[in-house]
Structure 1
Amino acid sequence: MAAFALPLLTSGLNTGVAHAATCVLEENVLQQDKLGNVFRTDVKCENLAGNVYGRAAYDAPLTGKKTSTLSTFVCWTRGERHSGGNTVWYYTKGDTAVSPFETFEGWGAMESHRLLLPSGISHPFPGLPRCPWY
């Protein structure tokens, strides 16, 4: 399995203390969403908690909530411009599903600015595939 880590210096996720963090790209993994899409590459990054939407837009149904601050993202897509200043969104599985969409198990899109990328790395994360429905 090929994987690489990129260091990140943040201002300390809600602690006020600087620390080193990483985003790790993993290949040869197997993940499948509830729609039957199969993903063989992912990236694990520190992230901000937030909403997960049924598509890459704020008017999409809310399908899940991400409460964890170290999460897996399986692909990226283009969507609505968000406060991160771009149109990149990442597909992920929320930590909790939102009614009435529990059958999707929280799968959906999050804005790119919620991923805490290493300094000098821009969205989309290098090596992470574009989602198949782009």
Structure 2
Amino acid sequence: MRLHTKIATAVGGLALIGTSLLVAGPAQAQANPPCYAKSGHLYCGNKAGVSLWRSARYSEHDQDVVDTLKSNPSYFQCYVRGQKHGGGNNVWYRTYGDVTGRSGYVAAESVYTSRDPFPGVSHC
């Protein structure tokens, strides 16, 4: 590729453009503000499009999915302990869905917390 006035090179997440150095960070960190707890509730980034479950466990039965969490970031009311999941713990956060407004549980692996349960979040 031929550039008229500047040479651009990208190596391992770094982009050199002329005399400027741009450092690309993880997309998740750039897209989501830090999590915080206020009055026992959690405000945090999360995977959008995840199912809300009737109980703090995954199930093979479709009727156990009560809603879908489409928003990101989201509000989480509190936490419970339930089935162990891919996040390496058994913490689930209770929230309200974006389709029907029903409440349900999301595994902590879908919430971008630094630790679980997140400090300052109430137990349900």
Q: Distance in 1 between matches of 2:26 and 2:67?
A: 27
Cα deviation, residue 63, structure 1: 0.4
Q: How does 1:6-85 map to 2 (within 5 A)?
A: 11-13=26-28, 19=30, 21-27=33-39, 41-49=40-48, 50-59=50-59, 61-85=64-88
Gaps of 5+ in 2: 1-24
Q: Distance in 2 between matches of 1:83 and 1:24?
A: 23
Partner residue, 2:20: none
Cα deviation, residue 43, structure 1: 1.2
Cα deviation, residue 106, structure 1: 2.2
Partner residue, 1:36: none
Q: Is 1:115 matched with 2:114? A: no
Q: Give the helix-richer structure, 1 or 2.
A: 2
RMSD of equivalent CA atoms: 1.7
Q: Report the AA paired with residue 21 of structure 1.
A: P
Identity across the alignment (%): 31
Verify the 8 A CA contact 2:38 2:120 in the aligned structure 1. no
Verify the 8 A CA contact 1:65 1:106 in the aligned structure 2. no
Partner residue, 1:93: 96
Q: Any idea what SS the aligned residue of 1:63 has?
A: strand
Q: Distance in 2 between matches of 1:72 and 1:87?
A: 19
Q: Distance in 2 between matches of 1:128 and 1:62?
A: 24
Larger radius of gyration: 2
Cα deviation, residue 113, structure 1: 1.1
Q: Any idea what SS the aligned residue of 1:76 has?
A: strand
Per-residue CA deviations over 1:76-128 (Å, capped at 9, x if unaligned) read: 0011111111110000001113xxxxxxx3200000011112xxx31000010
> TM-score, length-normalised on structure 1?
0.65
Verify the 8 A CA contact 1:90 1:109 in the aligned structure 2. yes
